[in-house]
Amino acid sequence: MFGSLIQKFKDTFRKAAPGLRKIFGKIGGIFAAKIDAATIEEIEEALYSADFGVETTTEILDEIRAAYRAEKELRGQDAAKIAATVLGRVLAGSEGVFTHDPGRKPEVIALIGVNGAGKTTTAAKLAWRLRQDGLGVVLGACDTFRAAANAQIETWAERLGVELVASQHGADAAAVAFDTVQAARARGREVAVLDTAGRLHTKGHLLEELKKIARVTAKLDPAAPHHRWLVVDGSLGSNSLEQARVFHEAFGVTGLIVTKLDGTSRGGALVGIYRSLKIPVYFVGLGEQPEDLQPFSKDAYIDALFGSEA
Ligand SMILES: Nc1nc2c(ncn2[C@@H]2O[C@H](COP(=O)(O)OP(=O)(O)O)[C@@H](O)[C@H]2O)c(=O)[nH]1
Ligand SMILES: [Mg+2]
């Protein structure tokens, strides 16, 4: 099971960064191919278009160039190895690991982020995954702003057989959060997952609402919400770093979930976010099925991008 999950992870990232795979794959495939100035330029372009960010890209290139100067026989595979090493260094400590703390009754996870990031889908998938791990979960439909939001999360909850606390459209989001946490406690469930609204982060109102959710759940447990996980669309490139900054400053983000890494050629954005903000990545979204929410594995990610096997 574990092996096939890792395989899915790798397959997805191989698809996710085609430019990068192509450049290293091509050179790596022809083992005899030497690195020259033109290839280094191609590598540079591929790294930029995959959205690793300026700092990481520069670091990788500097090291490749230094190796190239030192040793004219540098091969594509050597360059890929250098890139993997740099990325390994940049991503040190980036894997968030969720283990339920039984002292928290319930443990409260608030999912936040802009509209369309994937919060609602992720909330459902996360609830499903935690249930697979043997935990009782109650989902809270705290996006009371959009009329369609309740219907969407209800459909998911029904499909996955997850308990849901919802309210009328337009109701107070913080009240739904309170009810969710209270319901989880009353029913002896281990985790409450709060889906929230995501109007533009530039509107102060949304951040106020999130703060209110936090204040209200803290009435039931001063440490709640224990997790404030930001859901970001991994295909947005450097925009997602800006979003992460805004939410982090206002709300103290404790973890990241990066969605839509399937079907994007810019799978590198999480590197820039982690590098700048040091927020660990807990899960990545690799598709639209419940099992497509996967714990983040730094090594699988790096291997998928820079590993030499096909
Ligand atoms: N391909 C893909 N689509 C995703 C993923 N996560 C979410 N989506 C899609 O992104 C869209 C927006 O998701 P939604 O959960 O409604 O975002 P929200 O506005 O943040 O609640 C939906 O069509 C989801 O199916 C993912 O990991 N991969
Ligand atoms: Mg939503």
Q: For 86-126, how does the pLDDT look when each residue is reduced to its tens digit (9 = 90+)?
A: 999 999 999 999 999 999 999 999 999 999 999 999 999 99
| Ligand 1 contacts CB of residue 146 (under 6 A) | no
pLDDT-derived band at 306 (thresholds 50, 70, 90) equals: confident
Q: Which of 289, 280, 281, 226 is nearest to 258 (CA)?
A: 281
Task: Please say if the pLDDT value at position 2 is more than 70.
Answer: no
Q: How far is the CA of 217 from the centre of ligand 2 (A)?
A: 20
Task: Please say if the pLDDT value at position 277 is more than 90.
Answer: yes
Q: Which range among 119-123, 185-189, 290-294 shows the weakest confidence by mean pLDDT?
A: 290-294
If one counts every other C-beta atom within 10 angstroms of the C-beta of residue 178, the result is: 20
* Cα distances (angstroms) measured from residue 9 to each of 2, 12, 22, 33, 301: 11, 5, 18, 28, 7
pLDDT-derived band at 199 (thresholds 50, 70, 90) equals: confident
| Ligand 1 contacts CB of residue 295 (under 6 A) | no
Task: Please say if the pLDDT value at position 203 is more than 70.
Answer: no
Of 9, 231, 264, 288, the one to substitute when testing ligand 1's pocket (max ligand atoms within 8 A of C-beta) is: 288
pLDDT in tens, 41-78: 888 888 888 888 999 999 999 999 999 999 878 887 88
| Ligand 1 contacts CB of residue 262 (under 6 A) | yes
Q: How far is the CA of 118 from the centre of ligand 1 (A)?
A: 4
CA 43 to chain centre: 25
Task: Please say if the pLDDT value at position 30 is more than 70.
Answer: no
Strand order in the sheet with 293-295: 163-165, 137-142, 191-196, 107-112, 227-233, 255-259, 281-285, 293-295
More confident residue, 148 or 279: 279
Cα–Cα distance measured from residue 7 to residue 4, given in angstroms and rounded to the nearest whole number: 5
pLDDT-derived band at 27 (thresholds 50, 70, 90) equals: very low
| Ligand 1 contacts CB of residue 243 (under 6 A) | no
Q: Whose CA is closest to atom 22 on ligand 1?
A: 118
The residue whose two tokens read 């608030």 is 110
Task: Please say if the pLDDT value at position 310 is more than 70.
Answer: no
Q: Which of 303, 234, 229 is nearest to 262 (CA)?
A: 234
Task: Please say if the pLDDT value at position 31 is more than 70.
Answer: no
Q: Which of 309, 310, 273, 280 is nearest to 296 (CA)?
A: 280
pLDDT-derived band at 18 (thresholds 50, 70, 90) equals: low
Q: What confidence score (pLDDT) does residue 19 get?
A: 47
Which ligand ends up closest to the CA of 173?
2
| Ligand 1 contacts CB of residue 288 (under 6 A) | yes
Q: How far is the CA of 182 from the centre of ligand 2 (A)?
A: 22
Q: How far is the CA of 117 from the centre of ligand 1 (A)?
A: 6
Q: What confidence score (pLDDT) does residue 76 get?
A: 79
| 140-164 exposure pattern, b = at least 16 Cβ within 10 A, e = fewer | bbbbbbeeebbebbeebbeebebbb
Angle of helix 119-132 relative to helix 147-160, nearest 10 degrees, comes to 20
Q: Which of 21, 219, 245 is nearest to 114 (CA)?
A: 245
If one counts every other C-beta atom within 10 angstroms of the C-beta of residue 304, the result is: 23
Q: How far is the CA of 125 from the centre of ligand 1 (A)?
A: 11
Q: Which range among 38-42, 152-156, 239-243 shows the weakest confidence by mean pLDDT?
A: 38-42
If one counts every other C-beta atom within 10 angstroms of the C-beta of residue 4, the result is: 8
Query: Mean of the per-residue pLDDT values for the chain?
Result: 86
The answer to whether 34 touches 73, Cβ cutoff 8 Å, is yes
| 3-state SS, residue 147 | helix
Positive/negative CA dihedral, 113, 118, 124, 129: negative
* Cα distances (angstroms) measured from residue 25 to each of 28, 33, 52, 222: 5, 11, 18, 51
Of 9, 233, 259, the one to substitute when testing ligand 1's pocket (max ligand atoms within 8 A of C-beta) is: 259
| Ligand 1 contacts CB of residue 235 (under 6 A) | no
Which percentage of the chain shows pLDDT scores above 90?
Answer: 57
Task: Please say if the pLDDT value at position 20 is more than 80.
Answer: no
Ligand 1 atom with the smallest distance to the CA of 117 is 20
| Ligand 1 contacts CB of residue 285 (under 6 A) | yes
Q: How far is the CA of 149 from the centre of ligand 2 (A)?
A: 6
Q: How far is the CA of 22 from the centre of ligand 2 (A)?
A: 35
Q: What confidence score (pLDDT) does residue 130 get?
A: 97
The residue type found at 168 is: Q
Q: What confidence score (pLDDT) does residue 1 get?
A: 31
Question: What predicted TM-score, i.e. pTM, was given to this entire model?
Answer: 0.90
Q: What confidence score (pLDDT) does residue 303 get?
A: 80
Q: Which of 289, 296, 247, 242 is nearest to 267 (CA)?
A: 296
Q: What confidence score (pLDDT) does residue 58 get?
A: 96
Cα–Cα distance measured from residue 194 to residue 166, given in angstroms and rounded to the nearest whole number: 10
